[in-house]
Amino acid sequence: MTYDSVETFREKRDEALQYIQQTTDQRPEYLIILGTGLGKIADKMEIRTEIPYEDIPHFAISTVEQHEGKLLFGSLAGKEVVAMQGRFHYYEGYTMNQIVFPLRVLYSNGAETMFISNACGGMNSNYRRGDIMLIRDHINMMGDNPLIGPNDDELGTRFPDMSEPYTKGLIELAEQVALDKGIHMHKGVYAAFPGPMLETRAEYRMLRMIGADVVGMSTVPEVLAAVHMEMDVLGISVITDECFPDCLDPVKIEEVLEAAGMAEPHVTNVMTGVLERL
Ligand code: HPA
């Protein structure tokens, strides 16, 4: 999905929005993207309406992921929320605009704050597999972004500022929640590569030198679209493997999944703790 004009985008957005608004009257302020580390937060939600992506006009359909994609409308920690179960990755072949289309539709439905999580490899030598990291800033090395193309001035400005993509107030709140709950959480910089291959030793070394603490294959497209729309953003990474170039072990998918499972309760606790205090 690329748009030749702002009108094409608005038409598609409005058709998707209309379908959603016919199906639910919820207009949640909080949007949660269920990436690695947050999958089970859906179990804690009181779900009122489920909408499969395939029923929503112009939503991409998740072909690679095991569970089919759907929007979950309901409440969590006393707040109205919508969760995206099933997200789209650039390496799957989706365009940047397809990846962020649901986010733009949900913004028009009232979402003002985005919670997002991901799996990543850690280059910072203080980080261990299974640790979690609050995203303080990012480096986009995907070679693409969702803001290229005609700009809808009603969504956001042509040249969005990126001095604070991750909302300072939410970072402080998340740190306070982690402290109160005794959860150990790093704070650092996330670099995004397109994937799907993992990085070479030379790439990990370079990423560390340019100031990245972790690297992954998601999140940055959604954050850029969210910041463009002036949404608040809170992001947490789960370190699923250690990427130290001088002693690098081949990544095993079972170990990645195991680390994600270990960290999941912590990510869920921090995110729900923040929601409770908002
Ligand atoms: N690199 C990129 N993405 C990842 C990694 C990694 O080492 N681990 C989990 N996702």
Q: Can you give the CATH number for the domain in which 176 is found?
A: 3.40.50.1580
> Which residue's structure tokens are 């959603």?
20
The 10s digit of each residue's pLDDT in 88-112 is 999 999 999 999 999 999 999 999 9
CA distance 260 to 241: 10
Q: What residue owns the CA closest to ligand 1's atom 3?
A: 216
Ligand 1 pocket by Cβ (under 6 Å):
119-121, 193, 198-199, 215-217, 240-241, 243, 256
Residue 153 placed within a domain? yes
> In the chain, pLDDT over 90 holds for what percent of residues?
85
Q: What Rg value do the Cα atoms of the chain yield, rounded?
A: 18
Residue 1 placed within a domain? no
Please provide residue 33's backbone torsions phi and psi, each rounded to the nearest 5 degrees. -100, 115
* Residue 247: band (very low, low, confident or very high) from pLDDT cuts 50, 70, 90: confident
* Residue 251: band (very low, low, confident or very high) from pLDDT cuts 50, 70, 90: confident
Pairwise pLDDT comparison (200 vs 39), residue with the higher score = 200
Residue 151 placed within a domain? yes
**Structural domains counted in the chain:** 1
Per-residue model confidence (pLDDT) at position 36 = 76
Per-residue model confidence (pLDDT) at position 86 = 85
231 is in which domain, residue-wise? 6-277
Q: Which of 251, 257, 258 to mutate to test the pocket of ligand 1 (most atoms within 8 A of CB)?
A: 251
User: Which atom number of ligand 1 is nearest to the Cα of residue 243?
Assistant: 7
3-class SS of residue 54: helix
The 10s digit of each residue's pLDDT in 4-23 is 799 999 999 999 999 999 99
CA of 124 to the centre of ligand 1 (A): 13
Residue 85 placed within a domain? yes
The neighbouring-strand residues paired with 85 are 34, 70
> Which residue's structure tokens are 């909080």?
30
* Residue 190: band (very low, low, confident or very high) from pLDDT cuts 50, 70, 90: very high
> In the chain, pLDDT over 70 holds for what percent of residues?
96
Residue 66: is its pLDDT beyond 70?
A: no
Residue 32 placed within a domain? yes
Global pTM value: 0.96
